[in-house]
Amino acid sequence: MQKALATMQELLTEKIRTHTAKIGVIGLGYVGLPLAVEFANAGFSVTGIDIQSSRVAEINSGCSYIQDVPADTVRQHVESGHLRATTDFSVIAELDSVNIAVPTPLRKSKDPDMSFIVAATEQVVKYLHPGMLTILESTTYPGTTEELLLPMLEQGGLEVGKEFFLCFSPERVDPGNLHFRTHNIPKVVGGITPACTEVGALLYSQALDRVVPVSSTSVAEMVKLLENTFRMINIGLVNEMAMMCERMGVNVWEVIDAAATKPFGFMPFYPGPGLGGHCIPIDPFYLSWKSKQAGIEARFIELAGNINGQMPRFVVDKVQTALNNQGKPMLGSHIHIAGVAYKRDIDDLRESPALDIILLLKQKGARITYTDPYIPSLRLNGDGLSSVSLEENAAVADCVVLVTDHNAFDYASLVDNARLIVDTRNALKSYQSSKIVRL
């Protein structure tokens, strides 16, 4: 009896299991490049596709522009032929799977900007072929994969779950985290059909430690939004606590540390100068936008967004009060900002609260300098600033505002040198001095 012809799923499964599947990653940023490297580490042939020719050239010459990805690793994979990059989307015709990891910003109106996802998907549509797997990794509103990507990919007449496969898998990478990297962060994946989930999960399981299959793309999309909304709301809660504690003369940091000794039912979150980065300040608004369409107002998200948005002004008010207590006006004073990246030990300035703090201080007539070992220069409303010595400026500034608690800073010398410090991160917890004002 003649053996039945293998299905598309069986063919793709075989290629994945034998690591002969050709993998593509569209968008080689903080998410895409580490993922491409993990697939290359697992022995796959990986092609990264990006619209920035400078990034493509860097990868092909064995360099890395992402802090968490060592240049040596990129170079070894490029030399061994496991990794290459291109701006030419026609390579998709030769690939067995593509992961899309392009940006998903918010418009000023807090509506999701889907243009990057749509542009990348249009390219996939052009070169989609039988047996191909597409996985969206960009954070987005629940329903995107099924409502936006699926109809685009179905235009060619192929049937999902049989002739092509489509999944969503949220990316949980935490830039700068030394313990959890792409390979050991559990990977949630949901497909349009069970066959899609199976091939998506199989692919990730070849390169990553743990895969968590879920029943649909919408569940997978919602998982990411729950995680980031949970964080945003809890940060909003402790930021509001910080404002209350200030009024009541209570040290909020001590309160949180003591509460965190409870062995169950409590998880510490810490106040700060405001939310930053490409995820926490943005992602919950995808959910809020979508839930508004479903007739439900996302009240927790709006409230936390409002409270978190007040933090840069709260910090500036602290600076103003601290200067006034020393008999100095803000107008004409020299304020030195220690750290402008949105979080410790990383080189990412996106949505950083330091930018709002600098603008507010400038509006009040302060003269600003800054130090950040990871951000050599920045532009703000057309003005350029360059990072300068912390030691020299702390000694002469009227106030140092510690916005980002980089490990590279010499805190002992800062406390010795500075006249006044507003510490927004409790980085100076172990120092007692009347010149330190805590958030």
Interaction of residue 125 with ligand NAD, rule CB under 6 A: no
The catalytic site residues sit at: 279
CA-wise closest residue to 380 among 431, 340, 411, 420: 340
Residue 188: which of 159, 221, 139, 162 has the closest Cα?
Answer: 221
N residues, the chain: 439
Q: Show contacts with ligand NAD in window 50-89 (CB under 6 A).
A: 50-52, 55
- In the complex, the smallest distance separating the C-beta of residue 332 from ligand NAD, rounded to whole angstroms, is 38
Burial of 316 (0-12, 13-18, 19+ CB in 10 A): buried
Closest CA to 278 of 50, 116, 42, 77: 116
| Cβ neighbours for 350, distance < 8 A, ≥ 6 positions apart | 276, 277, 278, 342
CB of 30 to ligand NAD, least distance (A): 4
Q: Which stretch binds ligand NAD (CB under 6 A): 26-34, 90-98, 318-326, 379-387?
A: 26-34
Burial of 303 (0-12, 13-18, 19+ CB in 10 A): middle
Considering the complex, state which of residue 23 and residue 49 has its C-beta at the smaller distance from ligand NAD: 49
Please, what is the minimum distance in Å from the beta carbon of residue 18 to ligand NAD? Answer: 28
CA distance 254 to 150: 50
Count residues contacting ligand NAD (CB under 6 A)?
26
Q: Does 25 bind ligand NAD (CB under 6 A)?
A: no
Q: Considering only the stretches 29-37, 288-296, 352-360, 386-394, report the one whose residues sit in contact with ligand NAD under the rule CB under 6 A.
A: 29-37
Of residues 26 and 199, the one with the C-beta less far from ligand NAD? 26
Considering only residues 32, 161, 190, 305, which one is a binding residue for ligand NAD as defined by CB under 6 A? 32
Q: Cβ atoms within 10 A of the Cβ of 396, count? A: 12
Neighbours of 408 (CB within 10 A): 12
In the complex with ligand NAD, the residue whose CB is nearer, 33 or 437, is 33
Establish if 279 lies at the interface with ligand NAD (CB under 6 A).
yes
What is the pattern of x (binds ligand NAD, CB under 6 A) and - over residues 286-325? ----------------------------------------
Q: What's at 188, amino acid-wise?
A: V
- One symbol per residue from 85 to 124: x for binding ligand NAD (CB under 6 A), - otherwise; what is it? ----------------xxxx-----------x--xx----
Which residue lies nearer to ligand NAD by CB, 235 or 418?
235
Contacts (CB under 6 A) with ligand NAD, residues 146-175: 171, 173, 175
From the list 428, 84, 121, the residue with the least C-alpha distance to 251 is 428
Scanning 216-341, the segments in alpha helix (DSSP H) are 217-248, 252-259, 283-293, 299-309, 311-325
Q: Does 342 bind ligand NAD (CB under 6 A)?
A: no
Name 249's Cβ contacts closer than 8 Å, sequence gap at least 6: none
* Alpha helices (runs of H) in 63-193, residue ranges in sequence order: 71-79, 115-127, 144, 150-154
Write down the least CB distance from residue 40 to ligand NAD, Å.
17
CB of 259 to ligand NAD, least distance (A): 28
Pairing relationship of beta strands 399-402 and 421-423 according to DSSP bridges: parallel
132 binds ligand NAD (CB under 6 A): no
Is 213 near ligand NAD (CB under 6 A)? Answer: no
**Which CB atom, from 50 or from 240, has the smaller least distance to ligand NAD?**
50
Query: Judged by CB under 6 A, which of 12, 21, 28, 220 binds ligand NAD?
Result: 28
Q: List residues near ligand NAD by CB under 6 A.
A: 26-32, 49-52, 55, 101-104, 116, 119-120, 138-139, 171, 173, 175, 278-279
